[in-house]
Amino acid sequence: MSSVVEEGKTYEPGTYPDLPPPPSTVGIVGWVRENLLSSTTNIVITVLTLYFLWVILPPSINWLFLNAVFEGASRDECRAIMREAGASGACWAFIGHRFELFVYGFYPVEERWRVDLSFILMLAAIVPVLWDKTPQRGKMMIGSALAPFVIGWLLIGGFGLETVPTDKFGGFMLTLVIGVTGIVGSLPLGIALALGRQSHLPALRIVCVVFIEFIRGVPLITLLFVASTMLNYFLPPGTTFDLLLRVLIMVTLFAAAYLAEVVRGGLQAIPKGQIEAADAMGLKYWQSMRLIILPQALKISIPGIVNTFIGLYKDTTLVIIIGLFDPLGVGRASLADTKWQGLSTEVYVFVAIFFFVSCIAMSRYSLYLEKKLHTGH
Amino acid sequence: MSTPEAEVSPETSDTSKMQVSDEVVIRIKDMHKWYGAFHVLKNINLEVNRGERIVICGPSGSGKSTMIRCINRLEEHQQGDIIVDDVELTNDLKNIDAIRREVGMVFQHFNLFPHLTVLENCALAPIWVKQQPRAEAEATAMKYLERVKIPEQADKFPGQLSGGQQQRVAIARSLCMNPRIMLFDEPTSALDPEMIKEVLDVMIELAQEGMTMLCVTHEMGFAKTVANRVIFMDGGEIIEQNEPHEFFDNPQHERTQLFLSQILAH
């Protein structure tokens, strides 16, 4: 073997030092060369992307922010201001006027602090669930488990608070109530259905399969109509059953059926040896599931689970069809106001931004979780 | 087959301390098993005394893994009796649990839990099955990890270890339950040649301490060093069993001779 020569230096075999990489491959310059300009195709794509951004971004920013009117009492005022400036943009004054309606629906004004408090409680309850470094996580989790009941009491009332009928619920608050209840309720139910579908007890298995296939085979809107009309036929005469509660049940069942299939996919990906090892060590069925199988199966299923959650969250807008005032319902009602006619773009963009922010948060969190739970190679 | 006897270190091949008692710990009587219509195990009769080290060999598909998996009910037998430590293996979950507490098992593909650290893998069953306090279970786990010579890997995840290290963790994990019988299902078949020795060394030490072992393996060097009985299976039957010397030097059955000539000649 001969010695290696680099820049005139000679090293004995086995003593060659670690050299830094060439400057053109590191730092910002390196990143740009590597990722944006590495080949002809890449250069073409980069240029096209920049052109596309140039076409899309400036007008959007102008419409959304720079030329937008934030204050005014009617659409005509908005128009007048824009005419003066010689530009056209969004009339956010409309949203500003209707903001409370968008957030609280028809919830009584003097009771709205209860919605605000519920929202804060919900955030506080979510932290220990989503973030495993929460101090005193065990104790905090007990609080999280109790939070839904407190929130339910705050929103509906009774026991010392004035009762607010659920048909006063509306706007983003309604979206959150349906979305969060659906998510919290459907995950355990979906897991149970997935396990049931894999059970070796035929009766249990058949019940789960029939349930999943039925719910998946029927559009959500149909289920919501069933919830709003048909359920009365099945219930004893004279029973009144809150419409929102029926919707919550239907949305939860619907999402649970989808989740069950997502989780089943995860369960099937776990090698048989895992359950055999757990069995051989004497763990009971539920212990093996809870400690060994589900943590792994759910980890694999995270993208699918979050996908289902996002779908559920957006599908809450379908309740408009059975007469509940979700943000779209509020928006449509607001557009009927003669003072503000013709501003549907603003309304739908505003609602879209709300949903987009919620959904992107879920999606980002799922990525963080996947990364955190990655343990092997 | 990679079975040079040189792989077994001379200092660990001292078999004088290995004692076999008269107490029968596993009794399999007229046992049959079918997979659907396929008769996989035919009329198995086997008695294992405490302290015995039994190596089970045979061509693939001969039912050797299935047989030892019947002993801790990973597979169900349809006819005959299996009695482990005076507990009969029936559909009674209590009996199955009792037997699984006494019987440890090591698998060909390790079957470590990839989402738990090495230490958590080892401490899991003592905590949940034996209701030991966590600190005690972890101390026991460290003791056994030291015995298999990888205490420094305790906080790593299985995916970060080599195959040989993973299999040693799997052995330590079984030992944490303090079993009286150990089943090994081809423990070295999935390992690179240079890792086989580190696993076999651990198994040899275990044998020298008097553990009752049933081991499905093709490591004939291991069989010669520690086994006091070698069982040859083919077509779901026990064809021949003998002490290692006789088994290798003087196989009685034609099929045994054929099998041995195939695995030893290369």
* Partner A, chain B 174-233, Cβ-Cβ below 8 Å: 174, 177
Is residue A230 predicted with pLDDT exceeding 80?
no
How close, in Å, is residue A270 to chain B by CA atoms? 10
Which residues of chain B neighbour A284 with C-beta distances below 8 Å?
97
- Residue A114's identity, in one-letter code, is R
Give the per-residue pLDDT at A3: 44
Is residue B12 predicted with pLDDT exceeding 50?
no
Give the per-residue pLDDT at B9: 47
Question: Could you tell me where the beta strands, DSSP code E, fall in B99-140?
Answer: 103-106
B104 vs A: CB within 8 A: yes
> For an interface test with A, which of B115, B156, B167, B177 has the most A Cβ atoms less than 10 Å from its Cβ?
B115
> For an interface test with A, which of B128, B144, B157, B182 has the most A Cβ atoms less than 10 Å from its Cβ?
B128
Q: Which long-range contacts (CB under 8 A, 24 or more apart) does B128-131 make?
A: B128/A283, B128/A287, B128/A291, B129/A281, B129/A282, B129/A283, B129/A287, B129/B101, B129/B177, B130/B101, B130/B177
Are B104 and A280 within 8 A, CB to CB?
yes
Is residue B11 predicted with pLDDT exceeding 60?
no
* Partner A, chain B 68-97, Cβ-Cβ below 8 Å: 72-74, 97
Q: Is A155 helix (H, G, I), strand (E, B) or coil?
A: helix
Q: How far is CA B33 from CA A144, B39, B179, in A?
A: 51, 6, 26
8 Å CB contact between B29 and B80: yes
Closest by Cα among A287, A70, A265, A254 to A178: A254
8 Å CB contact between B151 and B138: no
> For an interface test with A, which of B124, B156, B214 has the most A Cβ atoms less than 10 Å from its Cβ?
B124
> For an interface test with B, which of A279, A281, A302 has the most B Cβ atoms less than 10 Å from its Cβ?
A281
Are B177 and A281 within 8 A, CB to CB?
yes
Closest by Cα among A122, A167, A162, A174 to A144: A122
Which residues of chain A neighbour B157 with C-beta distances below 8 Å?
375-376
A138 vs B: CB within 8 A: no
Cross-strand partners of B231: B56, B241
Burial class (CB in 10 A: 0-12, 13-18, 19+), B121: buried
How close, in Å, is residue A143 to chain B by CA atoms? 25
Are B174 and A377 within 8 A, CB to CB?
no
| Residue that has been written with the tokens 């319902």 in this structure | A329
Is residue B10 predicted with pLDDT exceeding 50?
no
Are B173 and A373 within 8 A, CB to CB?
no
Are B109 and A271 within 8 A, CB to CB?
yes
A369 vs B: CB within 8 A: no
In chain B, count H helices and then E strands. Answer: 9, 10
Give the per-residue pLDDT at A21: 85
Are B111 and A279 within 8 A, CB to CB?
no
Is residue A74 predicted with pLDDT exceeding 50?
yes
CATH code reported for the domain at A98-107+164-373: 1.10.3720.10
Closest by Cα among B172, B26, B41 to B87: B26
* Residue ranges of domains in chain A: 4-65, 67-97, 98-107+164-373
A294-353 pLDDT, tens digit per residue, is 999 999 999 999 999 999 999 999 999 888 899 999 998 888 888 888 888 999 999 999
Give the per-residue pLDDT at A5: 46
- How big is the CA angle at B48 (ends B42 and B51), to the nearest 5 degrees? 150
Question: Which residue on chain B is closest to A280 by alpha carbon?
Answer: B100
Is residue A52 predicted with pLDDT exceeding 50?
yes
Q: Is A232 helix (H, G, I), strand (E, B) or coil?
A: helix
B176-185 pLDDT, tens digit per residue, is 999 999 999 9
CA distance A56 to A248: 39
- Residue A357's identity, in one-letter code, is V
Question: Backbone phi, then psi, for B182, in 5-degree steps?
Answer: -120, 135
Pull the structure tokens for residue B21.
């008692």
How close, in Å, is residue B44 to chain A by CA atoms? 22
Are B125 and A281 within 8 A, CB to CB?
yes
8 Å CB contact between B26 and B83: yes
8 Å CB contact between B135 and B210: no
Is residue B3 predicted with pLDDT exceeding 50?
no
Which residues of chain B neighbour A287 with C-beta distances below 8 Å?
128-129
Within 10 Å of residue A345's Cβ, how many Cβ atoms?
A: 11
CA distance A139 to A51: 53
A296 vs B: CB within 8 A: yes
| Residue that has been written with the tokens 């201001």 in this structure | A81
Is residue B194 predicted with pLDDT exceeding 80?
yes
8 Å CB contact between B110 and B167: yes
CA distance A107 to A311: 26
Is residue A236 predicted with pLDDT exceeding 80?
no
Is residue A376 predicted with pLDDT exceeding 80?
no
Find the helix packing angle between A171-197 and A92-104, rounded to 10°.
50
Give the per-residue pLDDT at A10: 80
Question: Which residue on chain A is closest to B182 by alpha carbon?
Answer: A280
CA distance A254 to A237: 26
Are B104 and A291 within 8 A, CB to CB?
no
In what helix (H) or strand (E) does residue B88 lie, and over which residues does it extend? strand B87-88
Q: Is B104 helix (H, G, I), strand (E, B) or coil?
A: strand
B227-265 pLDDT, tens digit per residue, is 999 999 999 999 999 999 999 999 999 999 999 998 876
8 Å CB contact between B231 and B243: no
A299 vs B: CB within 8 A: yes
Are B177 and A296 within 8 A, CB to CB?
no
**Strands B38-49, B24-35: pairing kind:** antiparallel
**Strands B24-35, B181-185: pairing kind:** unpaired
Which residues of chain B neighbour A200 with C-beta distances below 8 Å?
none
Give the per-residue pLDDT at A75: 87
B201-228 pLDDT, tens digit per residue, is 999 999 999 999 999 998 999 999 899 9
The H-assigned helical ranges of chain A are 27-35, 40-61, 75-85, 92-104, 112-130, 137-156, 171-197, 202-216, 220-225, 231-234, 243-268, 272-280, 285-287, 294-315, 327-335, 344-373
Better pLDDT: B20 or A257: A257
**Predicted confidence band at A46 (pLDDT cuts at 50, 70, 90)?**
very high
Question: Backbone phi, then psi, for A60, in 5-degree steps?
Answer: -60, -45
* Partner B, chain A 264-283, Cβ-Cβ below 8 Å: 271, 273-274, 276-277, 279-283
Is residue B266 predicted with pLDDT exceeding 60?
no
A154-201 pLDDT, tens digit per residue, is 999 888 889 999 889 999 999 999 999 999 999 999 999 999 999 989
